[in-house]
Amino acid sequence: MSKELRWGFLGAGGIAPTVATDFQIAGLKIQAVATRDLARTNAFADKFGIPNRHENYATLVADPEVDIVYVSTTQNFHERDALLVIEAGKHLLMEKPFTLNAKQAIAIQEAAKHKGVFVMEAMWTRFLPTMVEVFKVLSQGDIGKPRIVYGDHSQYLPVTKAPRLSDPELGGGALLDLGIYPISLAVRVLGLPKAVTGKATLSDRGVDEITSMIFEYEDGSHAILETSMVTAGPVSATIHGTKGRIEIERSFYEQVPFTVFDVDNNVLLRYEEKIEGRGMQYQAIHVEECINSGFKESPIMSLSETVAIMKVMDDIRSQTGVKYPNE
Amino acid sequence: MSKELRWGFLGAGGIAPTVATDFQIAGLKIQAVATRDLARTNAFADKFGIPNRHENYATLVADPEVDIVYVSTTQNFHERDALLVIEAGKHLLMEKPFTLNAKQAIAIQEAAKHKGVFVMEAMWTRFLPTMVEVFKVLSQGDIGKPRIVYGDHSQYLPVTKAPRLSDPELGGGALLDLGIYPISLAVRVLGLPKAVTGKATLSDRGVDEITSMIFEYEDGSHAILETSMVTAGPVSATIHGTKGRIEIERSFYEQVPFTVFDVDNNVLLRYEEKIEGRGMQYQAIHVEECINSGFKESPIMSLSETVAIMKVMDDIRSQTGVKYPNE
């Protein structure tokens, strides 16, 4: 029987309560937590019944009752926090965006290899039942060869709603926080592009409010992707192939229905499955399976793919002039 | 009371029977027809009860009972046919794409000005009740300031289904025939872009099978547009603004429903109106109104806008390497 892992939560940012709730739904064991503030740590621990409460990140990663650390600090701290976890010999699941840039991601990849720990970007979407089914449809060839991935992730997140995203010091902008989802989908479906074009509209503070992207592939396929934090877009994605298409409904990166059509617009399949919680538990279940199988990387969200995606985002930012002060 | 115009049909290509049916629904008068082949001309005339049958285009445009000519030949002949109509002093409604390139469109524009006739690109979509309503919603400010137009027109039209589109001699490719629709929508909503980026995948014969586009605007708005003739895409369009969005459903360029949402995804309005026919009559009713009001151009689909859109498509083709042998 496989060993149950004991999770430590490093940071308890915006997404952490949702993750903790989903972990509880799946019966995963949250053993410890540390935030920057003990009162906040205790409040979070009380809410989720977490036994070990730490005054700082250093004691959390040193906790012998912690096997794997889930990091949900802001991305400007991801490299620092990841290296802290890895140096302590703990496995790591880290919120997206993985880092600010590829250089930081490579530093983490190298440290992980050196210490022999498992590290994964928390691209939870890939592990949702609906997305597993999308890739089953693709692998069966139901839509033929995929030629175009078309996806939008535009959410209205002005400074009053999400101050973090407006702040260049915190690695703000639409691309890293929202754009990562359609980018990750495109790379999972079509692989790594041979060329990337990005155009952006920047805020007064120099982060991207809108980024439009075209990815070109060796075989002539395209991905055409949109992200914005100043508008609410369709937030849908379509994969068109030579024999049909898959339309994933609004909030395509969540557990939502999808429909498969042939090229004559006949419905081949409509898939809809309700799950408990938001679905952030599936990635963690996968992580536990990987670690119990002795894997150092996920076959579905590998570190090398994370690094490659960070390079794509570096490329886009270099074309659009988004540079963070602390990179 | 305004004068009823007498229409002549020059060519009776793929779309002509649909147009003729819609004209009949609206009670418009089709007075004459000419195709390249008298048997075909007679068959078309019989079907739609058209009295004047011409053996060639020259006698059609010379017909004193014809006030305005609707041209539906393939785009490689548009400049030639338009100039024939205009030189005969007749008004003109010409199928899209208006011409192969801007140079040809300008030649037509200049001839029309010289002869004082009315000329319009048959961008019928703009005159559909649903699209009139979309622009009412925009002008009321219900979605705030439009920032992003996101649109796909990908139809599966392989050589077996639409041989014309595969043929460079006939001005084939996805961009001119399908891409014109999302481009025209973007230009109508956001105006003329300051910069255009186009990336394409070409067929063995050198026409574009897939073209992905980003339009950038002075005010930081974007249009992100997709067209393909090798896949069936969502064929939907979304206009996102600072206060909400308009989602136009599948086959966005036809009479289809649309929904207006605020930035929190609440439905503000769902508009759905059935019409008789496909809706190609509304453009003709508008043309008759324009001519009866003494206009030489439409205020909704002006020749200068048609020329500007042809320049945008020239720009895209020059970036993607699509060149027609006969231009």
Q: Does A268 touch chain B (CB under 8 A)?
A: no
Please answer yes or no on whether B233 and A245 come within 8 Å at the CB atom: yes
What CA–CA distance (Å, rounded) separates A115 from A313? 27
pLDDT confidence band for A77 (50 / 70 / 90): very high
Is the separation of the CB atoms in A257 and A130 below 8 Å? yes
Average pLDDT over residues B145-171: 97
pLDDT tens, A93-106?
999 999 999 999 99
Q: Residue A304's Cα: distance from chain center in Å?
A: 14
Digit-coded pLDDT (tens) for B22-64? 999 999 999 999 999 999 999 999 999 999 999 999 999 999 9
Give the H/E segment covering residue A39: helix A38-48
Q: How far apart are CA A117 and CA A291, in angstroms?
A: 9
To the nearest whole Å, the CA of B244 is away from the closest chain A CA by: 6
The ipTM, to two decimals, is: 0.96
Taking only the tens place, the pLDDT of each residue in A22-71 is 999 999 999 999 999 999 999 999 999 999 999 999 999 999 999 999 99
- How many cross-chain Cβ pairs, A to B, lie less than 8 Å apart? 124
* Segment A312-320 mean pLDDT: 98
- Residue B327: what pLDDT? 83
Q: What pLDDT, on the 0 to 100 scale, is given for residue B3?
A: 81
Residue B80 has pLDDT above 90, yes or no: yes
Nearest to B212 among A156, A222, A247 (CB): A222
Per-residue model confidence (pLDDT) at position B202: 98
Q: What is the pLDDT of residue A14?
A: 84
How far apart CA B192 and CA B231 sit, in angstroms, is 28
pLDDT at B117: 98
Inter-residue long-range contacts of B256-262, CB under 8 Å, 24+ positions, other chains counted: B256/B130, B257/B130, B258/B130, B258/B133, B258/B134, B260/B137, B260/B142, B260/B143, B261/A232, B262/A232
For testing the chain B interface, which of A207, A224, A247 should be mutated: the one with the most B CBs within 10 Å?
A224
A-interface mutation test, from B142, B145, B148, B236, most A Cβ less than 10 A away: B148
Q: What is the radius of gyration, based on Cα positions, of chain B?
A: 19
Q: Is the pLDDT of residue B157 over 90?
A: yes
Q: What is the mean pLDDT of chain B?
A: 97
Quick one: CA dihedral B160, B166, B172, B175, positive or negative?
positive
Q: Is the CB of B210 less than 8 angstroms away from the CB of A220?
A: yes
- Section A153-172 average pLDDT: 96
Of A223, A219, A254, A217, the closest CA to residue A240 belongs to A223
Q: State the DSSP string of A60-89.
A: HHH-TT-SEEEE-S-GGGHHHHHHHHHHTT
Of A73, A98, A90, which Cα lies nearest the Cα of A5? A90
Tell me the pLDDT band of B326, cut-offs 50, 70 and 90: confident
The dihedral built from the CA positions of residue B224, B227, B233 and B236, taken in this order, carries a sign that is positive
**Does residue A265 belong to the interface with chain B, where contact is any CB pair within 8 Å?**
yes
Local confidence band at B13 (pLDDT 50, 70, 90 cut-offs): confident
pLDDT at A1 over 80: no
* Closest chain B CA to residue A196: B199
- Amino acid making up residue B14: G
For residue A326, what pLDDT is reported? 81
* B107 token code pair: 């030649």
- Number of Cβ within 10 Å of residue A96's Cβ equals 21
Is the separation of the CB atoms in A57 and A80 below 8 Å? Answer: no
- What is the percent of chain B with per-residue pLDDT over 90, rounded to a whole number? 97
Q: Token digits for A74?
A: 């802001």
Question: Domains, chain A, ranges and CATH?
Answer: 6-124+280-296 (3.40.50.720), 129-273+314-320 (3.30.360.10)
**Distance from C-alpha of A253 to C-alpha of A267, rounded to nearest angstrom:** 22
Q: Mean pLDDT across the stretch B243-250?
A: 98
- Measured CA to CA, the distance from residue B256 to residue B244 in angstroms comes to 20
Q: What is the pLDDT of residues B86-135, one digit of tens each?
A: 999 999 999 999 999 999 999 999 999 999 999 999 999 999 999 999 99
Q: Which of B213, B231, B320 to mutate to test the interface with A (most CBs of A within 10 A)?
A: B231
Q: What is the pLDDT of residues A196-223, one digit of tens each?
A: 999 999 999 999 999 999 999 999 999 9
Averaged pLDDT of chain A: 97
In chain A, residues with a C-beta closer than 8 Å to the C-beta of B232 are 240, 244-245, 261-265
* Residue (of B218, B180, B148) closest to A224 by Cα position: B148
CB A59, CB A53: distance < 8 Å: no
A93: which strand partners?
A70, A120
